[in-house]
């Protein structure tokens, strides 16, 4: 991947100042979330969901940061449509890295938990936050304004999808097979909710459920990214 292109994407986005609003929301969340001490894994589930929402926000801003003229010039310079779009996705993921690293270590630094984290717990929490960030970005790229005729409807649609995704709808409609199946077509954000929420704070051993979550999340995200690349390349030829 072209590192100079990734640096360009990040610097261009920063210059637009579109990061200010989500950054302020992040700071408020950081302050509010760590007022009342709580269990390690239920807290990390909450912060991972926050990263999913934030990644949606940043991802959409990244994709829409360049105007059509600048985007056309950049793609001519890159000479590869796929590289151009993949670099945008990688740029968002790298931009998001400090946000969830801070959410992982900040509660430890301020003594929010009753004890420190083990190396396994740090690794598991990092994987969870990265996967939630990946899913958030994979969803956000479909809100590229160039893909939508009715641009004013994009933001409400995105907000609705995020809301439906983070709500535990599978539990609410567990007796309705049709709705229950439809819920599983959404990003698997709630897949680990119960297992993490009721996990003991003194032990974490990644089990089959966690391994399935990794495979499910990575596979789901890659399918969305591949579909997006196919759509934008096809639209670019029209």
3-state secondary structure labels for all residues of the chain: CCHHHHHHHHHHHHHHCCCHHHHHHHHHHHHHHCCCCCCHHHHHHHHHHHHHHHHHHHHHHHHCCCCHHHHHHHHHHHCCHHHHHHHHHHHHHHHHHHHHHHHHHHHHHCCCCCCCCCHHHHHHHHHHHHHHHHHHHHHHHHHCHHHCCCHHHHHHHHHHHHHHHHCCHHHHCCCCHHHHHHHCCCCCCCCCHHHHHCCCCCCCCCCHHHHHHHHHHHHHHHHHHHHHHHHHHHHHHC
pLDDT(48) > 70: yes
pLDDT(179) > 90: no
Q: Write out pLDDT tens, residues 63-72.
A: 888 877 887 7
pLDDT(11) > 70: yes
Domain residues for the domain of 124 are: 3-237
Task: Please state the domain count of the chain.
Answer: 1
Pick 201 or 88 by higher pLDDT.
88
Q: Taking the model in full, what pTM does it have?
A: 0.88
pLDDT(198) > 60: no
For position 175, what pLDDT does the model report? 56
């Amino acid at each position: 991947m072209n590192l100079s292109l990734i640096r360009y994407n990040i610097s261009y986005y920063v210059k637009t100042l579109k990061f200010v609003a989500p950054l302020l929301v992040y700071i408020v969340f950081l302050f509010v979330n760590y007022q009342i001490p709580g269990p390690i894994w239920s807290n990390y589930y909450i912060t991972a969901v926050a990263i999913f929402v934030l990644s949606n926000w940043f991802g959409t801003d990244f994709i829409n940061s360049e105007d059509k003229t600048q985007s056309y010039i950049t793609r001519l310079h890159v000479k590869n449509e796929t590289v151009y779009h993949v670099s945008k996705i990688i740029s968002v993921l790298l931009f998001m890295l400090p946000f969830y690293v801070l959410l992982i270590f900040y509660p430890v630094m301020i003594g929010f938990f009753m004890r420190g984290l083990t190396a396994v717990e740090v690794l598991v929490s990092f994987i969870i936050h990265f996967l939630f960030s990946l899913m958030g970005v994979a969803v956000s790229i479909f809100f590229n304004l160039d893909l939508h005729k009715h641009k004013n409807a994009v933001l409400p649609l995105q907000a609705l999808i995020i809301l439906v995704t983070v709500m535990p709808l599978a539990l609410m409609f567990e007796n309705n097979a049709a709705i229950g199946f439809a819920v599983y077509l959404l990003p698997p954000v709630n897949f680990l909710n119960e297992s993490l929420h009721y996990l003991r704070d003194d032990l974490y051993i990644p089990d089959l459920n966690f391994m399935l979550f990794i495979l499910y999340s990575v596979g789901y995200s890659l399918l969305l990214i591949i579909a997006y690349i196919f759509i934008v390349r096809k639209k670019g030829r029209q």
